[in-house]
């Protein structure tokens, strides 16, 4: 399990948190065991290996515990736009970050992803932020495991030296940080070493109310894509 | 004496020959002397001939040159007369010994105003030393106005030319290939000067108003150029009905119906051969020459107009799998890329190899040796098979020049696919130690690009067009010697390298394999 897992202060009571941690540990052991038991080591090969999950599972076991981004991702379709109301009644979801807060948070040059629920912005002091919004916490957890691997191509055993924000997080918190909180995955790259602070500011500015306004609308291919003011993307018209 | 002595030393046959020649020469000289004595010097009948073009365009050519060759006169007066006999302008000349006088007319009258278009006559009047008119010569001169207002570059669906619309990324707009390449509002500018077509825009992100637009064709195309003539002029009627003005462009042939320029009918041309031998940028200024032919068959240039052209000669049509306007060649990409690879052989591998060099050497990129993190792309959703490239941001280097392997792979793939050399993103998984590599923008080979404790890749992104059988990689150069795991190292650019050899040279330890071939998306 990622040693950097942290909860947002006051989010859950301590006993409940402990229960969740125990459950998570059991799940992790089961998943890791399943992954390792069912996988052959990937052969070094000059062509695409038949089962891409194999190598990723090996990677999960060796470096990023519980990260298992398997071949099923190959057939994944685009993440649907989040529904106005949470998919599971009791699941708390973030709506997103009010985009009007960007400059107050030290962010600039907003770029809205035309193809998925993701936006990115530059950090005034250097670096960039990506915020991925998922329909459910489960999806976000799965995505976090992937982004934790894909965020960096370093294979090393460098220890993380500080506490990280978010419900799950990885990275050194200085130059690089990937975290998940509820249904959001936030990625911060900060050459100036302030990833932790930037992520904290973003987390504190998140809202869970769903606006009905339109921030931007444009044509992408044959689709009409709309973003609302908290950076959520919706396909509003497809021929 | 010397001649006689020589004669004496010749043989009998030669002596007889010389004697006969001498007798003939004497007879001829005698006849000439008798004729001269009979008639005296023949008086020269005053006469003149005028050499000049049958037509000219005063705004395009500046002036019409005339040349009068005369005999038997002392002075010359040259008048330019309009069709109603009015003298527009005159000049007086002393006739030199050789009888040749030349001059020019700029189409203006004595007050300096243009006399307009129409039929004029050059009248050369010879006078004797008493000032009496002794001979007159005339030459018809048409003053015309010729020029084009609109130019189009088109294809014929691949028969001889294949055009691809260019994409202006800053405004998200695809070029309309049926729209003019360049156009003028009128044949003359506000000062009354004849206009050449505007220069091609140097902007790469958004088309500039009033400038010419570049076009993109597959390299072996013979683009079809259509020119629409202007039909009004500051000088009045174009006066093209009285003379036959044809268009000539060096290296191009008029393929439209053989109709002389009439101010209405478009002229269609096509180059005689492909404009280049492979991918690159065809940047030229076509000289549109307006030509008339005199009765004697001599061709005269009425004037000329300049048409700047810039054609991006692609390797092939774009090879993106995604559909949409943005999956066409971006001006901001193909302009520098095609200039960088200009002259490369028109083969997939040669083009792709050259673009690897361009990305590795020319863009100032450097590998992120701190985190190996990407700045200009991310994998959409949560899968390796959906790389998404923020190309607009990359073109601005919005987050600087630091990149990782995923960035380099999407950059290389996007560049190649835009010029028509198909290339796909490919992932190598996972967690493997490295042999010696030279990362992009780094000074030295190393097996630990991230310093001690960072001697391997958790993953690596490359490109392929055949499921990993062949690899291109602009992120790093391999150690190409017999021992890729140790110094010294020999730079081996990853250009069409066998997939297995690539892994053998890259991977020191661990298992590595190719996964997730895809093209992804961009914006």
pLDDT(A196) > 90: yes
> What is the dihedral sign for C-alpha A79, A81, A86, A87?
negative
pLDDT of residue A76: 31
Element (H, E) at B46: none
Enumerate the residues of chain B whose CB falls inside 8 A of the CB of residue A173: none
**What share of chain A in percent tops pLDDT 70?**
59
Please report the pLDDT score of residue B10 as a whole number: 43
Shared-domain flag, residues B68 and B205:
no
Residues 6+ apart with CB under 8 A from A223: A235, A237, A238
Mean pLDDT along residues A29-33: 39
- Reading the block at residue A230, the tokens are 């908290």
* pLDDT the model gives residue A41: 31
Q: B4 vs B165, which has greater pLDDT?
A: B165
Of A47, A109, A128, the CB nearest to B375: A128
Q: How many Cβ atoms sit within 10 Å of the Cβ of residue B48? A: 23
> B139 by DSSP, 3-state: which?
strand
Confidence band, pLDDT 50/70/90 cuts, at residue B382: confident
Q: What is the pLDDT of residue A67?
A: 35
Among chain A residues, the shortest Cα distance to B375 is held by A128
Cβ within 8 Å, pair B453-A58 = no
Asked whether residue B276 falls in the same domain as residue B403, the answer is no
Give B406's contacts (C-beta < 8 A, 6+ positions apart).
Answer: A150, A153, B374, B377, B379, B387, B461
Domain membership flag for residue B438:
yes
- Within a domain: residue B323? no
Nearest CA in chain A to B327: A221
Report pLDDT digits (tens) over B170-183. Answer: 999 999 999 999 99
Q: Given CA atoms B372, A79, B328, B325 in this order, what sign does their dihedral have? A: negative
Indicate if the pLDDT at residue B379 is higher than 80.
yes
Tell which residue, B206, B424, B218, B428, has the closest CA to residue B322: B424
Residue B342 counted as domain residue: no
Is the Cβ pair A116, B323 closer than 8 Å? no
**Chain A residues inside the 8 Å CB shell of B496:** none
B404, B503, B517 ranked by CB distance to A44: nearest: B503
pLDDT band at A211 (very low <50, low <70, confident <90, very high): confident
The residues near A36 (Cβ < 8 Å, ≥ 6 apart) are A57, A61
Task: Give the model's pLDDT for residue B35.
Answer: 46
Q: Would you say residue B197 lies in a domain? A: yes
Residue contact A45–B503, C-beta within 8 A:
yes
Domain A77-237 has CATH 3.40.1000: yes
Give pLDDT tens digits for B294-330: 888 999 999 999 999 999 999 999 999 999 999 999 9
What share of chain B in percent tops pLDDT 90?
Answer: 88
* Contact yes or no for A76 and B381 at CB 8 A: yes
A145 versus A22: the higher-pLDDT residue is: A145
| B13/B158: higher pLDDT | B158
The three-state secondary structure class of B288 is strand
Do B247 and B386 reside in the same domain of the chain?
no
Chain A residues near residue B512 by CB distance under 8 angstroms: 42, 44, 55
Q: How is chain A split among helix, strand and coil, in percent rounded to 5?
A: 30, 20, 50
The residues pairing with B305 across neighbouring beta strands, listed in sequence order, are B288
Taking CB atoms and an 8 Å cutoff, what residues of chain A touch B433?
155
Q: Where are the beta strands (DSSP E) in B169-255?
A: 173-174, 182-183, 215-218, 224-229, 246-248, 252-254
Conformational region of residue B107, where left means phi above 0, alpha means psi within -120 to 50, and beta covers everything else: left
Closest by CA position to B492, among listed B471, B514, B511, B520:
B471
Same-domain check for residues B169 and B289: yes
Q: Do B383 and A69 touch (CB under 8 A)?
A: yes
User: B441 in a domain, yes or no?
Assistant: yes
Rounded-to-integer distance, Cα B340 and Cα B338, Å = 5
Q: Is A120 on the interface with B (CB under 8 A)?
A: yes
Tokens 């010729």 belong to residue: B146
Which two structure tokens, joined as six digits, stand for A36? 């390792």
Closest by alpha carbon to B275, among B212, B229, B225? Answer: B225
pLDDT band, residue B440 (cuts 50/70/90): very high
Q: What's the gap in Å between the CA of A205 and the closest CA on chain B?
A: 23
Residue B269 near residue B236, CB atoms below 8 Å: no
Q: Determine if the peptide bond prior to B18 is cis (ω within 30°).
A: no
Q: Do A176 and B371 touch (CB under 8 A)?
A: yes
Greater confidence (A169 vs B14) lies with: A169
Inter-chain Cβ pairs, chain A and chain B, closer than 8 A: 195
Residue-wise pLDDT tens digits, A92-140: 999 999 999 999 999 999 999 999 999 999 999 999 999 999 999 999 9
Percent of chain A with pLDDT over 90: 49
- Test the A interface: residue of B171, B320, B370, B381 with most A CBs within 10 Å: B381
Same domain? B154 vs B273: yes
pLDDT band per the 50, 70, 90 thresholds, residue B376 = very high
Measured CA to CA, the distance from residue A36 to residue A25 in angstroms comes to 16
ipTM of the complex: 0.78
- Least Cα separation, residue A26 to chain B (angstroms): 24
Beta bridge partners of B478: B437, B492
* Confidence label for B40 from pLDDT (cuts 50, 70 and 90): low
**pLDDT of B436 over the 70 cut:** yes
Which of B375, B405, B516 shows the shortest C-beta gap to A153?
B405
Q: DSSP string of A117-174?
A: SEEEEEETTS-EEEEEE-SSHHHHHHHHHHHHHHT--B---PPP-S---SSEEEE-SS
Rounded CA-CA distance A186/A4 in Å is 15
Q: Chain B within 8 Å of A160 (Cβ-Cβ)? A: no
Among chain A residues, the shortest Cα distance to B404 is held by A153
- Chain B residues in contact with A79 by the CB 8 A cut-off are 381
Measure the CA dihedral A144/B461/A48/A46, to 10°. Answer: -140
Token code pair at residue B359: 């990305």
Determine which of A171-175, B65-69, B403-407 has the lowest per-residue pLDDT on average: A171-175
Contact residues, A window 1-40, toward B, CB-based 8 Å cutoff: none
What is the pLDDT, as a whole number, of residue B43? 76
Q: Which residue of A has its CA nearest to B523?
A: A114
B220 and B102, same domain (yes or no): no
Quote the pLDDT of residue A134.
95
Residues B417 and B430 in one domain: yes
State the Cα–Cα distance between residues B435 and B430, nearest whole angstrom: 15
Smallest Cα distance from A10 to chain B, Å: 29
Chain B residues within 8 A of A154 when measuring between CB atoms: 371-372, 450, 454, 456-458
Within 53-72 of A, beta carbons closer than 8 Å to B belong to 55-56, 58-59, 62-63, 69
Answer yes or no: are the C-beta atoms of B126 and B133 closer than 8 Å.
Answer: yes
Q: Long-range contacts: B295-301, Cβ < 8 Å, 24+?
A: B295/B54, B300/B53, B300/B54, B300/B55, B300/B56, B301/B53, B301/B61
Question: What is the C-alpha separation between A27 and A206, in angstroms, rounded?
Answer: 29
Whether the predicted pLDDT of A43 surpasses 70: no
Q: What is the pLDDT of residue A117?
A: 93
Q: Are B308 and B376 in a shared domain? A: no
Q: What's the pLDDT tens digit per position in B84-103?
A: 999 999 999 999 999 999 99
Domain residue limits at B16 = 2-39
- A48/B405 touch (CB, cutoff 8 Å), yes or no: no
When the pLDDT of each residue in chain B is averaged and rounded to a whole number, the result is: 92
- Find, in chain A, the residue whose alpha carbon is nearest to that of B399: A127
Answer for the pair A62, B459: CB distance below 8 angstroms, yes or no: no
Beta bridge partners of A186: A131, A179
CB-CB under 8 Å, B458 with A52: no
pLDDT at B199 over 60: yes
Q: What is the DSSP string of B345-401?
A: -SSHHHHHHHHHHIIIIIS--EE-TTT---SSEEESTT-TT-EEE-HHHHHTTTT-S
* Helix, strand, coil distribution of chain B in percent, nearest 5: 20, 40, 45
Q: In this predicted model, what pLDDT tens digit does every residue of B471-507 receive, in sequence order?
A: 999 999 999 999 999 999 999 999 999 999 999 999 9
Query: What mean pLDDT do residues B326-347 have?
Result: 98
What pTM did the predictor assign? Answer: 0.82
CATH number for the domain spanning B76: value is 2.60.40.4070
Interface contact A152, partner B, CB < 8 A: yes
pLDDT, tens digit, 9 for 90 and up, residues A54-82 = 333 333 333 333 333 433 333 333 334 44
- Cβ-nearest to A55 among B322, B388, B511: B511
- Residue of chain A minimizing CA distance to B509: A44
Count of domains for chain B = 4
Residues of B in Cβ contact (< 8 Å) with A225: none
Which residues 6+ apart lie within 8 Å of A197 measured at CB? none
Distance from CA of A180 to the nearest CA of B (A): 13
pLDDT of residue A38: 30
Chain A residues lying within 8 Å of B394, measured CB to CB: none
Is residue B22 over pLDDT 80? no
Confidence of residue A158 (pLDDT cuts 50, 70, 90): low
pLDDT tens digit string along A5-21? 333 333 333 333 444 44
pLDDT exceeds 80 at position A149: yes
Q: Please state the rounded mean pLDDT for residues A202-224.
A: 91
Residue B522 predicted with pLDDT over 70: yes
**Can you give the pLDDT at residue B332?**
98
- Strands B118-127 and B47-52 turn out to be unpaired
Q: Given pLDDT bands bounded at 50, 70 and 90, which one contains residue A210?
A: confident
Mean pLDDT of A166-172: 93
Q: Picking from A58-62, B80-84, B151-155, B266-270, which range would have the lowest pLDDT averaged per residue?
A: A58-62
With CB atoms and an 8 Å threshold, state whether A73 touches B467.
no
Residues B130, B152, single domain; the answer is no
B491-521: b or e for each residue (b if 16 or more CB lie within 10 Å)?
A: ebbbbbbebbbbbebbbbebbbbbbbbbbbb
Greater model confidence, A14 or B166: B166
Whole-angstrom distance, CA of residue A144 vs CA of residue A136: 12
């Amino acid at each position: 399990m990622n040693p950097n897992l942290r909860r947002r202060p006051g989010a859950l009571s301590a006993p409940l948190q402990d229960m969740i941690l125990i459950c998570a540990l059991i799940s992790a052991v089961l998943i890791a065991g399943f992954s390792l038991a069912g996988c052959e080591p990937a052969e070094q090969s000059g062509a695409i290996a038949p089962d891409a999950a194999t190598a990723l599972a090996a990677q999960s076991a060796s470096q990023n515990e519980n990260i298992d981004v398997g071949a099923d991702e190959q057939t994944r379709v685009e993440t649907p736009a989040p529904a106005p109301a949470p998919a599971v009644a009791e699941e708390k979801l973030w709506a997103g970050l009010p985009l009007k807060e960007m400059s107050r948070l030290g962010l600039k040059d907003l770029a809205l992803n035309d193809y998925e629920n993701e936006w990115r912005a530059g950090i005034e002091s250097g670096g960039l932020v990506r915020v991925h919004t998922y329909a459910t916490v489960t999806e976000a957890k799965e995505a976090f495991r992937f982004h934790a691997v894909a965020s960096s191509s370093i294979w090393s055993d460098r220890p993380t030296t500080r506490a990280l924000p978010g419900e799950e997080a990885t990275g050194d918190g200085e130059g690089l940080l990937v975290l998940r909180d509820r249904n959001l995955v936030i990625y911060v790259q900060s050459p100036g070493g302030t990833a932790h602070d930037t992520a904290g500011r973003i987390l504190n500015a998140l809202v869970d109310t769903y606006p009905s306004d339109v921030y931007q609308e444009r044509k992408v291919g044959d689709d009409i894509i709309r973003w609302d003011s908290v950076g959520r993307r919706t396909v509003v018209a497809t021929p | 004496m010397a001649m006689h002595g020589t004669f004496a030393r010749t043989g009998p046959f030669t002596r007889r020959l010389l004697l006969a020649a001498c007798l003939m020469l004497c007879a001829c000289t005698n006849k000439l002397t008798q004729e001269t004595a009979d008639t005296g010097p023949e008086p020269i009948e005053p006469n003149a001939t005028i050499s000049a073009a049958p037509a000219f365009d005063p705004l395009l050519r500046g002036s019409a040159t005339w040349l009068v060759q005369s005999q038997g006169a002392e002075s010359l007066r040259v008048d330019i007369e309009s069709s109603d006999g009015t003298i527009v302008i005159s000049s007086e000349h002393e006739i030199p010994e050789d009888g040749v006088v030349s001059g020019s007319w700029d189409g203006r009258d004595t007050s300096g105003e243009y006399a307009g278009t129409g039929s004029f006559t050059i009248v050369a009047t010879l006078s004797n030393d008493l000032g009496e008119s002794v001979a007159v010569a005339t030459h018809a001169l048409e003053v015309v106005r010729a020029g084009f207002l609109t130019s189009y570059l088109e294809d014929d669906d691949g028969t001889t030319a294949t055009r691809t619309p260019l994409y202006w990324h800053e405004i998200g707009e695809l070029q309309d290939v049926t729209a003019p390449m360049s156009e003028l509002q009128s044949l003359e500018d506000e000062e009354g000067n004849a206009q050449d077509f505007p220069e091609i825009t140097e902007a790469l992100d958004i088309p500039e108003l009033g400038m010419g637009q570049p076009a993109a064709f597959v390299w072996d195309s013979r683009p079809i150029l259509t020119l629409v003539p202007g039909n009004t002029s500051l000088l009045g009627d174009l006066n093209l009905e009285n003379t036959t003005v044809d268009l000539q462009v060096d290296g191009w042939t008029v393929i439209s119906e053989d109709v002389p320029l009439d101010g209405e009918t478009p002229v269609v041309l096509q180059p005689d051969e492909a404009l280049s031998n492979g991918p690159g940028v065809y940047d030229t200024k076509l000289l549109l020459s307006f030509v008339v032919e005199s009765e004697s068959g001599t061709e005269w240039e009425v004037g000329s107009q300049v048409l700047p052209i810039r054609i991006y000669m692609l390797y092939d049509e774009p090879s993106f799998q995604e559909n949409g306007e943005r999956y066409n060649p971006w001006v901001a990409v193909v302009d520098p890329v095609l200039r960088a690879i200009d002259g490369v052989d028109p083969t997939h591998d040669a083009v792709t190899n050259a673009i690897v060099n361009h990305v590795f050497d020319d863009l100032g990129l450097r590998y992120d040796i701190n985190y190996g993190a990407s700045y200009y792309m991310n994998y959409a959703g949560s899968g390796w098979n959906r790389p998404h490239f923020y190309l607009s941001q990359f073109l601005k280097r919005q987050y600087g020049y630091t990149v990782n392997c995923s960035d380099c792979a999407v950059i290389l793939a996007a560049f190649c696919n835009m010029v028509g050399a198909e290339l796909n993103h490919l992932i190598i998984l996972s967690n493997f130690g490295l042999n010696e590599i030279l990362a992009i923008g780094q000074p030295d080979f190393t097996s630990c690009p991230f310093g001690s404790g960072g001697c391997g890749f958790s993953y690596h992104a490359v490109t392929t067009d055949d499921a990993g059988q062949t690899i291109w990689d602009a992120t790093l150069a391999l150690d190409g010697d017999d021992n890729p795991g140790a110094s010294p190292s020999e730079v081996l650019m990853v250009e069409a390298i066998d997939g297995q050899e690539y892994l053998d040279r890259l991977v020191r330890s661990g298992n590595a394999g190719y996964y997730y071939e895809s093209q992804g998306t961009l914006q």
